[in-house]
Structure 1
């Protein structure tokens, strides 16, 4: 068949330049906020196999992972300056376009028979690819195969990128979603675990960069005007015009990056609105994937290291509250003095001690994977009572839509890295009612939760990223709307930074 360069292939080529460049830059922004890669799910400090920062983790017993950010330049990352929330917004906006474009491309590729341009139909192609490599090393451009648009090594490399590397980067991206990774936890473990998946995703990014560099070099080697004429006009008859038009197109892509970066740094909330329009409709579908972990005691962070206390290896982030009230609770061991208040839009407001929570929990526990939004993970066994059971006891009134959780922690007072304000989070009722949304009072059968991990009681929302798993829980309020609380975005980081309340990805 005549392969040629049909219009849809040329459009997809240009879109991929935009999507991949935005994905790489926003991906670098995300990596910069936890620039370390691990082989183990437990991300014990000092065990990273690779890191991209000269900063060292704080030696203080209590520290915030946000202090490990590396502030990459806006010339490299999107948007730069350690703005993880905005980097995530751009990554997921671009992912939406990238995956949609790739699916359309694959359908057209196989629907028109053009798949043969990338998939060899004979083993001779691999033999010829070896000969072509020798020719390139001798600075001789190999000829295209008879009736094909590429030589053998080009065919195999393009086929690898479109049919192997791209599905792999999509798969590893999907399984970094807390909702997906925890719902399909057996598959997550088969893939090597969250940190191996994160590493492979990073290596995919490196693969795209290496391919792009080689691809550009090959275009120049084969003849810039000749090759760009193919992708602009679908033929080689106008090499000068093809080179000019394609170069202008690349300049426009660069301009698009400059505009996006400056707009994001100046109008972060506008990017947030764009994200909510493009991304929210499909991420909301993940609320129908309630967590159902399949981890056991042997997976708990610390079990693979000789330690007396396995909770030592469960990463903490943030400084405990420093109010006299909380310090007195800590000094007295919490058990007799702590009271969890449940109120708001309910029929039966109540106050529960830890002892009463233990009795209501009836020994319930769950061993789950914690997904920090920055990137670290830990596995822990939590004992507690489901939020759904507590709601049944309190009896939400008709019209109740959300559950608000308030912490003893005041960020400006307790953690100088951030501005002041009571730390709080909220969940839509569907998330609060998930079976593994838990009020926890024990970690790893130690009889309590350590202060660094949220003592005496904390929230576990296993389908969300870590910052929404509120620590040092003081009170629960059922409400009929969350958008009138503080800044109306549903939580502390949602209000003061650029984090989405929907943290299922």
Structure 2
């Protein structure tokens, strides 16, 4: 039986078109930098930067620094997102999967409807989605319990002109000062807010809509949220995550790598190599998981909850 995910595969013609993305992006970025530098050097640009330096004030009582639980959550989020993107891409591009998985219709998940056979890549994708969602729920709860939400959620309209100011500074290659241990610049704040409170829920909701656990097509929920709409949203959201990761890693490594990595992995604001060492270890773990995400290694794990077949 075909899956709603099968129609998301990328055709060879589309892949060829994607080859034009990189040179086109370079040309556009060159024009953006040129225009940003001209505006920044103008009297209007200088006045704008003076009025809006790129960072808005946080609410009173906002926490400083990053606790250990947030560092660990950051690693888990990065780990899951990388593997989710990899498996999602395999679902779209693999024409003939090496193995298939069908859940066992027993125990707590016994249903009248016959289980659907899916590719082992889709099984891993959905399994990772479930773990990422659980991790996200814990993350959101801890954000609001500890007050860390104040660093991510805009609480003043000044965040928007300051975000434009930050974007202008980045685009002109004269980047704003980084002090993420105390406060993100406004562009970072909006980006993190979008990832946590908009993109992630969209990815989860559209993924659920495309899965077999969604109510039948005749249900009210399915009519309100058509499958075609979920398909149209899910892939662009994945591309948004990829773009965010690329930009995030680039800025982390080019705006004080040791300090930033200590913020994200070692719960301190110093410039020791501790954060880099932890980051390198998590990177090797992620690479190992990337390599092992193959049917030959997945089959024993997948067999614990279902039947794995070659056809």
- Fold in common (TM above 0.5): yes
Determine which structure has greater relative contact order: mean sequence separation of CA pairs < 8 Å that are 6+ residues apart, divided by chain length. 2
Whether 2:104 is the aligned partner of 1:104: answer no
CA RMSD of aligned residues (A): 2.5
For 2:261 and 2:159, the matched residues in 1 are separated by: 25
Whether 2:247 is the aligned partner of 1:217: answer no
* 2:66 counterpart SS class: coil
Show the 5 A alignment for 1:49-64.
Answer: none
The number of equivalent residue pairs is 232
Name the CA shift for 1:122/1:144 in 2 (closer, same or farther; >3 Å). farther
What is the match of residue 4 of structure 2? none
Whether 2:189 is the aligned partner of 1:155: answer yes
Match of 2:125 among 91, 94, 108: 91
What is the match of residue 228 of structure 2? 195
For 1:8 and 1:116, the matched residues in 2 are separated by: 17
Asked whether the 8 Å contact 1:30–1:84 carries over to 2, the reply is: no
Whether 2:172 is the aligned partner of 1:138: answer yes
Query: What TM-score do the two structures reach when normalised by structure 2?
Result: 0.68
Show the 5 A alignment for 1:2-13.
Answer: 2-13=63-74
Asked whether the 8 Å contact 1:132–1:153 carries over to 2, the reply is: yes
What is the match of residue 92 of structure 2? 31
For 2:263 and 2:75, the matched residues in 1 are separated by: 12
Match of 2:301 among 271, 277, 282: 271
What is the match of residue 286 of structure 2? 253
User: What are structure 1's unaligned runs of at least 5 residues?
Assistant: 34-68, 73-82, 281-488, 498-505
What is the match of residue 430 of structure 1? none
Instruction: Report the alpha carbon displacement of residue 184 of structure 1 after superposing the two structures with TM.
Output: 7.4
What is the match of residue 154 of structure 2? 120
The structure where helix makes up a greater share of residues is: 2
Instruction: Report the alpha carbon displacement of residue 119 of structure 1 after superposing the two structures with TM.
Output: 0.5
Match of 1:167 among 197, 201, 207: 201
For 2:131 and 2:199, the matched residues in 1 are separated by: 17
Instruction: Report the alpha carbon displacement of residue 496 of structure 1 after superposing the two structures with TM.
Output: 4.1
For 1:132 and 1:258, the matched residues in 2 are separated by: 38
Asked whether the 8 Å contact 1:228–1:239 carries over to 2, the reply is: no
Instruction: Report the alpha carbon displacement of residue 205 of structure 1 after superposing the two structures with TM.
Output: 0.6
For 1:161 and 1:247, the matched residues in 2 are separated by: 24
Asked whether the 8 Å contact 1:3–1:117 carries over to 2, the reply is: no
Whether 2:290 is the aligned partner of 1:235: answer no
* 2:216 counterpart SS class: helix
Query: What TM-score do the two structures reach when normalised by structure 1?
Result: 0.43
For 2:214 and 2:97, the matched residues in 1 are separated by: 29
Asked whether the 8 Å contact 1:22–1:90 carries over to 2, the reply is: no
For 1:28 and 1:86, the matched residues in 2 are separated by: 13
Instruction: Report the alpha carbon displacement of residue 495 of structure 1 after superposing the two structures with TM.
Output: 4.7
Instruction: Report the alpha carbon displacement of residue 143 of structure 1 after superposing the two structures with TM.
Output: 3.3
Show the 5 A alignment for 1:304-383.
Answer: none
Name the CA shift for 1:148/1:125 in 2 (closer, same or farther; >3 Å). farther
